[in-house]
Structure 1
Amino acid sequence: MGNPKAFMSIDRKEAGYRPVDERVCDFSEVEQTLNIEDRKLQASRCMDCGVPFCHWACPLGNKQPEWQDLAYKGKWLQSYKVLTSTNDFPEFTGRICPAPCEKSCVLKLHEQPVTIRENEAAVAERVFIEGLINPIIPKQRTGKKIAVIGSGPAGLACANRLNRKGHTVTVFEKDETIGGLLRLGIPDFKLHKSVVDRRIDLMKTEGVEFKTSVNIGVDITTKEILKEYDAVCVAIGAGVPRDLKVPGRESKGVYFALEFLQQQNRVIAGVQIPDAERINAKGKHVLVIGGGDTGSDCVGTSVRQKAEKITQIEIMPKPPVGSNPETPWPLYPMVLKTSSSHMEGCERRWNLDTLRFLSENGQVTGVEVEEVEWTKDENGRMNLKRTGKVETIKADLVFLSMGFVHPLYEGLLQELGVELNERKNVAVDGSHQTSVNKVFASGDAALGASLVVRAIASGRDTAESIDEFLKA
């Protein structure tokens, strides 16, 4: 290590966010950046501890001590190479990952973990800005063809790895643009789409072929796909949102979160949406049902659309603030998370169950909720108890943000004939192979809805399995 005592003399310093009154007026990224010298100092704080719990906690197994030491020494390209040996897209995870590595950093014991996520983004940006990245084009092709169905983080990671092994890869996407969740699900204020475009352009230069607006099973039959390609990777995500089937659900103004977020991303990209189909929070009372990251994205988007009032509710109890004895270090702490969107203006409430949607002339006007209490039984299972305390929350616009349950099955999975597990995800073995020969599944389609970083890891590992399959 260049400075083995830096963690003792240098405090954690975050880049922070742009001022609220400035950032709520646009959809540009809210997070700021540190200057190069400050960033080097932050990287120097990695103490190269004997047991790197950050490495253990990272789904990708990133080698934090190695690449951060190189960043501290200003060896940006070498740092990037170490980082991308495990993580294909550090420019994505450096922006949107919840950083389980930081939660398991030894310095987290003193609430001063290394700024690993920000350092990761800085390394990726530095090599792109300085023009240090050259396309990696295979010198020789294997003659094997692979179809990757779905262009989200899992599909892109799988395609990237297989292409660099010399296979010919075609990525099929049902939407009009490449990127999946990265493109249409995550707001620009967290991940600007120019960052996605930059990576896609690089992959194209390296030889990956992308085909958009192609619905496999409809536009191209699965028989044609299986005949033409030597292997197929299903990376279609978990596209079925969890619904809330209570009275009044059919009311106008009640949407799934992703309907809202996808439309706004398309609007920013220049797509013309008819006024009658536009979901606009301007001047409205917005209620977000669900307390996770996607719900937070709905809050931030509603703020930028100038909503009158925004409320976010969650059926579960409010998490502890700061630390939680039930999830001690080095486990990921289940504590209250306050996002940049929450800081922009939002009332947050917990222990509320939705009973019904109220409406006038078919338009939602409010949501009736009941307070609940939670207790644990002797087995540690949470049990819900109703209190009978009912109230109505005014709402002109409601977004359901309660997660996703399983992949969309329309056409594709039925035609492929792959087996599903008890959770209705694609059943795979240890090598990500499905019940159908030469068909593999990756990311949320197999794992269930999870983190982008887990999807990238799954895509990477699936590529290894496909490569071994093709060599057999």
Structure 2
Amino acid sequence: MGKPTGFMEFARQEESYEAPESRKKHYKEFIIPLTDEQAKIQGARCMDCGIPFCNNGCPVNNIIPDWNDLVYKGKWQEAIAVLHSTNNFPEFTGRICPAPCEAACTLGINAAPVGIKSIEHAIIDKAWENGWVLPQPAAQKTGKKIAIVGSGPAGLAAAQQLARAGHDVTVFEKRDRIGGLLRYGIPDFKLDKALIDRRVKQLEAEGVTFKTSVCIGEADLPKGVGNDAKEKISPQQLQKDFDAVLLTAGSEVPRDLPVPGRELEGVYFAMEFLPQQNKVNAGDKIKDQIKVTGKHVVVIGGGDTGSDCVGTSNRQGAKSILQLEVMPKPPVEENKPLTWPYWPNKLRTSSSHDEGCERQWSITTKEFKGKNGKLQSMVIATVEWSKDAQTGQMKMSEVPGTEKEIPAEAVFLAMGFTNPVACLLESFGVDKDARGNARATTDGEGCYATNVPKVFAAGDVRRGQSLVVWAVREGRQAAREVDAFLMGESVLPR
């Protein structure tokens, strides 16, 4: 390594943020990246640990020690080449990935881990600024045509890999813009959508064709699943027109909360709320947009989507925001000897929480109440968790005397997603697993292939709700399998 003693000499430095009261007034990104010198010092903290657990902690297996060393030595152009060798879109992961690599960092056993995510962010931003990210069109075309259904990170990663292998790739998206949940699930203040547009232009220059507002084999979609389709193409037509089809449509069906009063106006899925604000930010006019200005807001669900609802509600000017989680409050610090190098259970406070939000744990929702069809309040209660003596599973029970009614004029259900849209898989005849995902393996012969000839599946549509970085991994791996299926072998990396 460039600085063998760096981890003993330098402290971890986080990226800084614009002040909460200032950033709540807009929807732009507010992270202040590291300077070149700061990134160099953080790269110097990477120890020559012998076994870089960060590589396996990262789903795309980023070669992290190598680009940390290159940043320390000021070799930025070499650093982006190494980073791009495993990750098609580091500007996405460098902003929104929770960084499981840092949880696996060897230095993190007894000190603050290397700031891997902030270094990745610095590398890709510098690469774009200097014009080092250029289209890489294939030298020769294969004549093979591939359809990709869904334009989220899995679909985009697969499209880029397959186009560079020389195939003609067409990406179909039911929304009016490319990006999937990158576009409409993640707020602009966490991911500037110009970053997606910039990558789309690169992919187009590499030969990828994008078709928006096109539905593939889907009937009426469940509530909370967006659809801007003006055209519909049957799976049979797609299979006829293309040599292979890759499904990367995500896991979009939100988990519901069937309690009394669920039908009241004011109870929404998070994915009814967040995409509307992103569309407005993009210049669209939304009739009857969900707005929480001056309202008591309750967010049910303690994950990233819930946090995004908190940040958006703050920017719309909510009167109060309460975030509820049914699980117990995690510990402030993880038990490192027990969890390292795996992702730990610990209390995580997001930038949206810092902007203003009350959080409560071990809370269940019993009822929504309203008048004239509009939500006014909700009934909640405290629960406790215990292990079932027979099954060993954790079970929930309500604590007597804890039931109470609280004001709630807008409630957002942010409890995760259960499965892909069933009608998409059923229209192709794709077998589903026990959770309703497309059934396809990731090892052995026929990786990512479904039971339907020449139809593959990758990303959340196959593995279920997950991270952007896992979607990129699966898109890349599935691209290799599709390439091998069409050509008999593949030179694409897995």
- TM-score class, shorter: over 0.9
Distance 1:324 1:295 in 2: 25
Query: 1:210-251 deviations in whole A, cap 9, x for unaligned?
Result: 000000126111111001111000011011000000110000
For structure 2, the residue ranges without an aligned partner over 5 or more in a row are: 219-231, 489-494
In the alignment, the residues of structure 2 paired with residue 80 and residue 440 of structure 1 have an alpha-carbon distance, to the nearest angstrom, of 30
Q: TM-score, normalised by structure 2?
A: 0.93
TM-aligned CA deviation for residue 81 of structure 1:
1.2
CA RMSD of aligned residues (A): 1.2
Residue in 2 aligned with 1:428?
440
Question: 1:377: Cα distance to partner?
Answer: 3.9
Letter of the 1:434 counterpart: T
Q: Which residue of 1 is the match for residue 221 of structure 2?
A: none
2:289 equivalent to 1:273: no
Match for 2:250: what amino acid?
A: G
Query: What residue in structure 2 maps to residue 303 of structure 1?
Result: 314
Provide the residue aligned with 1:441 in structure 2: 457
The 8 Å contact of residues 91 and 124 in structure 1, kept in 2 or not, is answered as yes
Asked if the contact 2:6–2:45 (Cα under 8 Å) also holds between the matched residues in 1, the reply is yes
1:5-31 alpha-carbon deviations (Å, 9 max, x no partner) = 111111100112111111111111121
Q: Distance in 1 between matches of 2:138 and 2:487?
A: 17
Question: TM-score, with normalisation over the residues of structure 1?
Answer: 0.97
Out of 408, 414, 420, the position equivalent to 2:426 is: 414
Cα deviation 1:26-65 (Å, max 9, x = unaligned):
1111211121111111112111311111111111111100
Contact 2:45 / 2:114 at 8 angstroms: preserved in 1?
yes
Distance 1:200 1:49 in 2: 38
Separation in 1, partners of 2:296, 2:167: 52
Query: Contact between 2:422 and 2:436, CA under 8 Å: does it hold in 1?
Result: no
Matched, 1:177 2:177: yes
Encode CA deviations 1:54-100: one digit per residue, 9 max, x unaligned: 11111111110011111222221211111111111101000000000
**Residue in 2 that maps onto 1:17:** 17
User: CA 1:375/1:337 → structure 2, altered by over 3 Å: closer, same or farther?
Assistant: same
**Distance in 2 separating the partners of 1:327 and 1:94:** 27
Contact 1:171 1:209 survives alignment (8 Å): yes
Task: For 1:327 and 1:435, locate their aligned partners in 2 and report how far apart those are by CA, in whole Å.
Answer: 40
Instruction: Report the secondary structure of 2:133's partner residue.
Output: coil
Deviations along 1:294-338, one digit per CA (max 9) or x if unpaired, are: 000000000000100000001100000022369521121110000
Cα distance change of structure 1 residues 288 and 11 upon mapping to structure 2, 3 Å threshold:
same
| Equivalence for 2:131 | 131
Quote the residue 1:209 is aligned against.
209
CA distance in 2, matches of 1:425, 1:396: 34
Match of 2:404 in 1: 391
Q: Distance in 1 between matches of 2:448 and 2:136?
A: 26
3-state SS of 2:339 partner: coil
Map residues 311-390 of structure 1 onto 2, 5 A cutoff.
311-324=322-335, 327-377=338-388, 380-388=392-400, 389-390=402-403
* Residue segments in structure 1 that go unaligned for 5+ positions in a row: none
Q: Which residue of 1 aligns with 2:226?
A: none
CA contact (8 A) 1:367 1:393 kept: yes
Pairing of 1:77-156 with structure 2 (within 5 A)? 77-156=77-156
Quote the sequence identity (%).
51
Question: Which residue of structure 1 aligns with residue 165 of structure 2?
Answer: 165
Say if 2:266 is the partner of 1:250. no
Cα pair 2:299 2:309 within 8 Å, conserved = yes
2:239 to 188, 202, 226: 226
* Superposed structure 1 runs of 4+ greater than 3 Å apart: 324-327, 377-380
What's the offset of the Cα at 1:429? 2.6
Separation in 2 of the partners of 1:393 and 1:222?
Answer: 48
Tell me the number of residue pairs that the alignment of Structure 1 and Structure 2 aligns. 469
Q: Is the Cα–Cα contact under 8 Å of residues 327 and 334 in structure 1 kept in the other structure? A: no
Question: What is the one-letter code of the residue matched to 2:393?
Answer: R
CA contact (8 A) 2:172 2:212 kept: yes
Q: What is the correspondence of 1:282-297 to structure 2 with a 5 Å cutoff?
A: 282-297=293-308
| Range 399-408 or range 197-206, more displaced | 197-206
Letter in 2 for 1:93: T
